[in-house]
Amino acid sequence: MSDRIIQAADLSRIASALGSLGEGIGRISQQVDTVDNAVTVTRSELAELQQQFNDFEVRYERATELGLAETRLVKVRQQLERDFGHHGEVRRTATGIMQASDVGVVRQETVKSVTEELMLLAPGYWLAPALVALSAWISDNKPLAETALAEALRRDDGKTSLFFALICRRAVKGVACATWLDRYLGQQDPRSLKRQTMVLIDATAGGVFAADVQLRAYQRFQVWLDDLAERAGFIEEQRRQWRDALTFRIQGTEFAERYPYLSKRSGTWPQLNALLNRADLNADMRDYLAGIFERALPSHARLSDGVDQLLEQLVTEHDERELPLRREEAMLQLIVDEGGRKDAAASKFKLSHQALEEEVSFTQLLTNAAMHAEQSGATRASQRLALALSRDWLRDAHSDVTLATRNMVPATTELAIGNWSSTSRDGSEEPQLIEALEAHIAAEREVALAAVALEPKHWIGGVIGVLMIASIFGGHALVSLIGLAVLGWVFLEYRGLEKRRELVRSAFEARRDSEVATLRACLAELVEWHRAFAAADALAEDTGAYISAIAADSHLAAPHGGGRRLSLDAA
């Protein structure tokens, strides 16, 4: 009897201990699930937070660079005004003297007084003594004219020679104009030309010079090109030079709004976006060239008007001492234009800075005139001539850029939807990719369904319940009832598994529908991207043909005064 009591007591304690163990395991299992969910949520939130921080950091950096550039730009312009603002007064006086001399409404004493005052205001500036010499010439004061002219030539022989070549042309003194032009041309090295040579190109292209002088200048251009062409690597250098000029015109348009799905779910998108911009260069260049060649050139009823425009261009050309600040101003303005994107601004400045260099080769000068007219001070007449003289290099460079763009098109485009990823060649593999995506989701669904099963706590509870029910043979009816309740709980949990599996199936079905729809949208946008790229790329043939049709000898304006434009073919 005592043995039976001891055995029953021992069994009761064992059952109690097993029950406590089951409860403990159940709580631990719940805690592990909770921690696992918390870790998953935390990782997701951390990734999102990291992305937000990275975005904020980029925005902050750009805003900082933008603010610094705007502040520095104001200071640079103030310094330009402070250090070189008086040059503007000298420049305005030059045209004023010409026009006053035409109508004869200003006394020579007044002109003499003004020009002499400018000598005091602008020490070291070549134009001040040049204006004194001009004033003395008008008033027939030869000694003063010679003295002032010598000082102007000492300060800047090239600009002074070109200045008086234009002055003599304005006064219709052909021999003197040719003499001054010969002096200017004789000083020039085609490998290292001053920026003011652009005025000579404008005068030649715009028909300002007399026919014989125009022909002489054009022939000198051809001699310069022949001299440069004798250098080793010249052709390759010109192609690179023009490739850089074309690359500068490639825009940085963001096409994400046109392709909302592809831009968010393809790691290849930055490359696709860049390729659209590169392909759009064809239409951009075609329109750019049409704007130069198909719009009428500004016409001047009088020779003096045409010369005055060139004189103004020459005298307003930045002085050598201004150029460092002008280059800094250009760089800062690019940073502002790019919204603080310093790298993008630096890339553009690198491609265009030659237009702000003091000395460049003749071919670089032509490139600057054709592609960077605003920075180089070129007119549309000089742009026409520059493009005509550079036609072959431009055509070859355009072919190079077009070929490089085509070679950059990726063989496949990456796609990432949820945790599934694949690639597509051109968006035409929709059935295969949908099948692969559905198979991926189905595999994950089976894993999730397999996870919907009785957990260790249920199995332990079932064992404990059986043991507790077995204690009825020891006369412990209450313990048996508890065991029965435990088994009932396990049974209810088992019955609920199918409902949970249905929820899992529904969730995966909704996920499948959503992700398949997203995949279809991505593929449709990829098809549209290829169509848009092909259409933009096809314009390369039209642009290339337009460039090839440019003829050098048809882009020199007839000289003022009714002179016949000389045949350049014979030259």
Q: Which residue has the higher pLDDT, 447 or 423?
A: 423
**pLDDT at residue 537 tops 90:** yes
Cβ neighbours, 10 Å, residue 509:
12
Residues facing 193 on adjacent strands: 360
Q: CA-to-CA distance for 87 and 123, rounded, in angstroms? A: 10
β 193-194/413-417 pair status: unpaired
Least-confidence region, from 4-13, 116-125, 287-296, 503-512? 4-13
pLDDT exceeding 70 applies to what percent of the chain?
70
Q: Which residue has the higher pLDDT, 288 or 88?
A: 288
Task: Assess contact for 550 and 293: CB atoms under 8 A.
Answer: yes
**pLDDT at residue 450 tops 80:** no
Task: Assess contact for 402 and 285: CB atoms under 8 A.
Answer: no
Buried b (16+ CB within 10 A) or exposed e, 52-64: eeeeeeeeeebee
Per-range mean pLDDT, top range of 21-25, 68-72, 237-241: 237-241
pLDDT band of 5, cuts 50, 70, 90: very low
Cβ neighbours, 10 Å, residue 380:
18
Beta strands, E only, 255-402: 359-360
Segment 431-457 shows an average pLDDT of 78
Q: CA-to-CA distance for 12 and 9, rounded, in angstroms? A: 5
Residues facing 335 on adjacent strands: none
Segment 116-143 shows an average pLDDT of 83
pLDDT band of 126, cuts 50, 70, 90: confident
Contacts of 312 (CB under 8 A, 6+ apart): 91, 94, 95
Q: Which two tokens stand for residue 239?
A: 């192609």
**pLDDT at residue 168 tops 80:** yes
Q: Which two tokens stand for residue 70?
A: 């705007």
Task: Assess contact for 539 and 283: CB atoms under 8 A.
Answer: yes
Closest residue by Cα to residue 511 from 448, 422, 432: 448
Whether pTM > 0.85 for this model: the answer is: no
Q: Which residue has the higher pLDDT, 73 or 37?
A: 73
Least-confidence region, from 144-153, 186-195, 483-492, 551-560? 483-492
pLDDT value of residue 49: 74
Q: CA-to-CA distance for 553 and 287, rounded, in angstroms? A: 22
DSSP 8-state symbol, 474: G
pLDDT value of residue 9: 45
Segment 443-465 shows an average pLDDT of 65
Q: CA-to-CA distance for 326 and 357, rounded, in angstroms? A: 10
pLDDT value of residue 207: 78
**pLDDT at residue 44 tops 60:** no
Task: Assess contact for 434 and 520: CB atoms under 8 A.
Answer: yes
pLDDT band of 11, cuts 50, 70, 90: very low
Segment 275-303 shows an average pLDDT of 86
pLDDT value of residue 374: 77
Which tens digits make up the pLDDT trace of 230-279? Answer: 888 888 888 998 999 899 899 888 999 999 999 989 999 999 999 999 99
pLDDT value of residue 204: 83
Q: Which residue has the higher pLDDT, 7 or 204?
A: 204
**pLDDT at residue 568 tops 50:** no
Which tens digits make up the pLDDT trace of 334-385? Answer: 888 888 777 777 766 665 555 455 678 888 888 888 888 877 778 888 899 8
pLDDT band of 570, cuts 50, 70, 90: very low
> What is the SS3 assignment for 106?
coil
Per-range mean pLDDT, top range of 26-35, 255-264, 469-478: 255-264
pLDDT value of residue 203: 81
Q: CA-to-CA distance for 356 and 226, rounded, in angstroms? A: 25
Task: Assess contact for 362 and 221: CB atoms under 8 A.
Answer: yes
Let me know the angle formed at the C-alpha of 76 by 73 and 81, rounded to the nearest 5 degrees. Answer: 125
pLDDT band of 413, cuts 50, 70, 90: very high
Contacts of 562 (CB under 8 A, 6+ apart): none
**pLDDT at residue 67 tops 90:** no
Let me know the angle formed at the C-alpha of 549 by 548 and 553, rounded to the nearest 5 degrees. Answer: 110
Amino acid at 406: R
Q: Which two tokens stand for residue 441?
A: 């989701």
Residues facing 360 on adjacent strands: 193
Segment 22-47 shows an average pLDDT of 57
Q: CA-to-CA distance for 244 and 233, rounded, in angstroms? A: 17
What torsion do the CA atoms of 542, 547, 549, 552 make, to the nearest 10 degrees? 170
**pLDDT at residue 71 tops 80:** yes
Contacts of 567 (CB under 8 A, 6+ apart): 553
C-alpha separations of 115 from 92, 112, 261 in Å: 12, 5, 68
Task: Assess contact for 543 and 287: CB atoms under 8 A.
Answer: no
Segment 4-17 shows an average pLDDT of 48
Report DSSP letters for 500-558, one per residue: HHHHHHHHHHHHHHHHHHHHHHHHHHHHHHHHHHHHHHHHHHHHHHHHHT--GGG-SPP
Least-confidence region, from 132-146, 301-315, 383-397, 554-568? 554-568
pLDDT band of 86, cuts 50, 70, 90: low
Helix/strand/coil (H, E, C) string of 386-424?
HHHHCHHHHHHHHHHHHHHHHHCCCCCEEEEECCEEEEE
pLDDT value of residue 2: 42
pLDDT value of residue 519: 93
pLDDT value of residue 565: 35
Residues facing 359 on adjacent strands: 194
pLDDT value of residue 405: 96
Least-confidence region, from 91-95, 218-222, 240-244, 246-250? 91-95
pLDDT value of residue 482: 64
Indicate the average pLDDT of the chain: 78
Q: CA-to-CA distance for 539 and 413, rounded, in angstroms? A: 24
CA atoms within 13 A on the CB side of 338: 23
Segment 184-203 shows an average pLDDT of 83
CA atoms within 13 A on the CB side of 417: 26
Q: CA-to-CA distance for 507 and 502, rounded, in angstroms? A: 9
> What is the SS3 assignment for 242?
helix
Report DSSP letters for 186-236, one per residue: HT-BTTBEETTHHHHHHHHHTT-S-HHHHHHHHHHHHHHHHHHHTSTTHHH
Closest residue by Cα to residue 320 from 547, 448, 158, 520: 158
What element of type H or E holds 113? helix 108-121
pLDDT exceeding 90 applies to what percent of the chain?
21
CA 404 vs. chain centroid, Å, equals 17
Q: Which residue has the higher pLDDT, 159 or 536?
A: 536
Q: Which two tokens stand for residue 276?
A: 């659209």
pLDDT value of residue 490: 56
Task: Assess contact for 408 and 399: CB atoms under 8 A.
Answer: no
